[in-house]
Chains A and B, each alone.
Chain A
């Protein structure tokens, strides 16, 4: 590629890049026309912030760890642990 052609190409690429920005803005509609906070991580996370996870490390010792958000509590309930385990065994 000659220097002249390369310079022309760079100029046209710069124009294309600027155009790409405009196309992006046009393509996503009025609501998204300006950059908005859109936390990708939160968008992918569980939609219900009230979700709860229960974990039985050993179904036979009755210990159940319950987690919500960054918190956890551990309860001891042999009956409940056995009941949960029964459904998956």
Chain B
């Protein structure tokens, strides 16, 4: 998965588990950038009566590094507060919720947005309402319009939304975590089963999403961002979550949080802590800033998965098996950005500091007609790893990169295996749905309209 339940600690703390981070030039408002950070994986839509919400005792962040040192220059901080209308009922709602201010909605949530830059913190908005979760036709009959009320314009021409969305990340977890199986190619797997179509394991699940749309000038280091080859055109983006250093539980439902926030989750590029960082270091990785990522360099240079592919698919990746050099292509894609001169008309290089960040070139215009979910490797410079759009097929892109497809970028004498350009879990962006406007992630499915998981014969 991108970063769902990817580390031992976050798997036990879902409200602080940063599952996906996105950063892209807004396709319908190209003078703005949209930043999205998702939390709380695998929300079963029928998960009431206490439906999903952000944690009041977690602080959520979206960070921007615009000078390439792996530390934030701009921070958007989000703090949530539940407001309970009637503590004497067990019900989430006591009638139809026809607006986000409906008195029938008993457990509302509000949040504040604080932006911090070199001049210090500034509260951009407070008491911003979240939408309820999508419950069903009696409780939330006009959910799309209801959720749209939570799209709010705040100071400085910025737009925010925080609440439940349909999961936008698609992946065949059931197969991949079964010894690296890829159903479309499983006849070539050491397990040898007949090939099958991919199954989207995140289908119909919801997620808690924080989205903010801001002018480019909110993020860039200088006005040079308008030229794609200018160093200041590139920003690094990651998200995180923090909890107070100490929590005291006194019993009787009384607890207190004490001390400064301590980071417990972070996410820049998808799948890094998931499949690159080893189990014993995942919690450590989550606690650090990207500026500390040089200590994880060896895991990017020699990814475990690159060694597993030839072992799991005998004879399919002979050239990859012989590739023993440090993977400078993966280091560029994930830790430094791609310098000018590698991909015509494109760069997202932020310097020599190794830092896991989504690197977005603000001057690359969005692809509004037939965008390719394979992003840069598919010839679409507006997609991953130039930032990340909600529909980008990051699983296939990273699988192919690790399989050696991108190694010729740094060594033209290397010939990728034929399978490197084909390997996929068999899913595409058509396996979920999106919106064409902010907040871009699709409308969550209602609990009433959701059937439990079903079985697939092997």
Q: List residues of A whose CB falls within 8 A of some B CB.
A: 13-14, 17-18, 20-21, 24, 27-28, 32, 34-47, 51-53, 55, 65, 67-72
Contacts and interface: CB of A to CB of B under 8 A. Distances in A.
Contacts of A70: 244, 259-261
Given A20-B94, A38-B85, A45 B255 contact: yes
A37 B83 contact: yes
Contacts of A72: 245, 258-260
B246 interface: yes
Most buried by B among A14, A38, A41, A69: A41
A70 B84 CA distance: 24
A40 B254 contact: no
A85 to B, nearest CB: 18
B259 A24 contact: no
A17 B245 contact: no
Nearest to A37: B83
- Nearest 6 A-B pairs (CB), nearest first? A46-B256, A41-B56, A67-B259, A35-B85, A67-B258, A38-B84
A77 to B, nearest CB: 19
B258 A53 contact: yes
A29 B250 CA distance: 30
B65 to A, nearest CB: 24
Q: How large is the interface on B (under 10, 10 to 19, 20 to 34, 35 or more residues)?
A: 20 to 34
Contacts of B256: 45-46, 51, 53
A46 B250 contact: yes
A28 B86 contact: yes
Nearest to B96: A17
B258 A20 contact: no
8 contacts: A13-B138, A18-B95, A27-B88, A32-B88, A37-B83, A39-B81, A44-B253, A71-B260
A34 B85 CA distance: 8
Interface string B48-86: 000000001100000000000000000000000111111
B259 A53 contact: yes
A67 B246 CA distance: 8
Contacts, number: 92
A40 B53 CA distance: 13
B453 interface: no
Contacts of B253: 44
Contact of A46 (B86, B103, B254): B254
B246 A20 contact: no
Contacts of A35: 85-86, 103
B246 A24 contact: no
A35 B87 CA distance: 10
A13 to B, nearest CB: 7
A1 B258 CA distance: 56
Interface string B79-120: 001111111110100111000000110010000000000000
A41 B91 CA distance: 17
Contacts of B244: 70
Nearest to B80: A41
Contacts of B56: 39-41
A44 B255 contact: yes
A23 to B, nearest CB: 8
A41 B246 contact: no
Interface in B353-381: none
A79 to B, nearest CB: 23
A14 B96 CA distance: 9
Nearest to A13: B138
Contacts of B104: 21
Contacts of A18: 95
Contacts of B88: 24, 27-28, 32
B455 interface: no
Nearest to A47: B254
A36 B85 contact: yes
A13 B56 CA distance: 34
